[in-house]
Structures are given as structure tokens and as C-alpha cells.
Amino acid sequence: MHDIPGRIADVLLEVEANLRTSGKWELEPPDSRDLGSAQPFCIDTLSFEQWLQWIFLPRMKRIIEQQKPLPAKSGIYVYAHEYLRNSDFSTGSLLKLIKRFDDLIALQSATRRH
């Protein structure tokens, strides 16, 4: 339980692997204007999977590599569940990974308070 950033890094690698094996990993980035959306999850310009690949994963990897503070909370699972609930069967494992990420962030926050 002590190495929460390491466990989060593992989850991030699993999210990437899931996107790749499910065929949702893109080789070309979206237009920079689409990546710069001010809306949460770039909901107006990107699919959820694109947001994971091009915004979330790089941002979280930088935080971990630079040993910066992790977010105090995460609510990605709620949005992911809503977005992916009617998708193909492969999204079940992606949802579990996102839930694990949210849970680890909550655990990290709880350990900071004690």
C-alpha cells in the first residue's frame, strides 16, 4: 500500500494496453484545437478514449515521472461509466481500470490526511 504512485503507474500502463488491444489507440493526434478544449474531458471535441490517450495518460505520466503531487481526488469513473456503458464488451475491463485509478487516488488522499 505504500507505493501508491507505482500502483497508479501500473494502472496507467494497463489503460494504455487496453486501448491498444481494443483497437482504440490512435497513431495520429487530434487537431491541437481539439486538444485545447476548456470543457471537462474535452467532451465537445474528443471521444473519451481520445481524451484518455492524448490528455489524461500523458498528464498523469508526467506527474508520476516528475514526482509531483497526485490529484487530491478523481471522478473519472462516473463519466467513463456514463460514456462507455453502451459500448462494446471490451469496455468492462477499461472501466475496472479507471475505477482502480479513482480508488488509488482516494487512498492516496486518505493517507496524506493521516
Query: Which positions ≥6 away from 53 have C-beta within 8 Å?
Result: 16, 19, 24, 25, 26
Domain span holding position 66: 4-25+46-113
- Look at the chain and report how many structural domains it folds into: 1
**Inside any domain, residue 19:** yes
Query: 98: exposed, middle or buried (C-beta count within 10 Å: 0-12, 13-18, 19+)?
Result: buried
pLDDT in tens, 67-107: 999 999 999 999 999 988 877 767 889 999 999 999 999 99
- Phi, psi of 28, deg, nearest 5: -110, 135
pLDDT in tens, 31-60: 999 999 999 999 999 999 999 999 999 999
**Inside any domain, residue 78:** yes
Cβ atoms of residues 9 and 108 within 8 Å: no
Q: What is the pTM of this model?
A: 0.90
CATH classification of the domain holding 103 = 1.20.1440.40
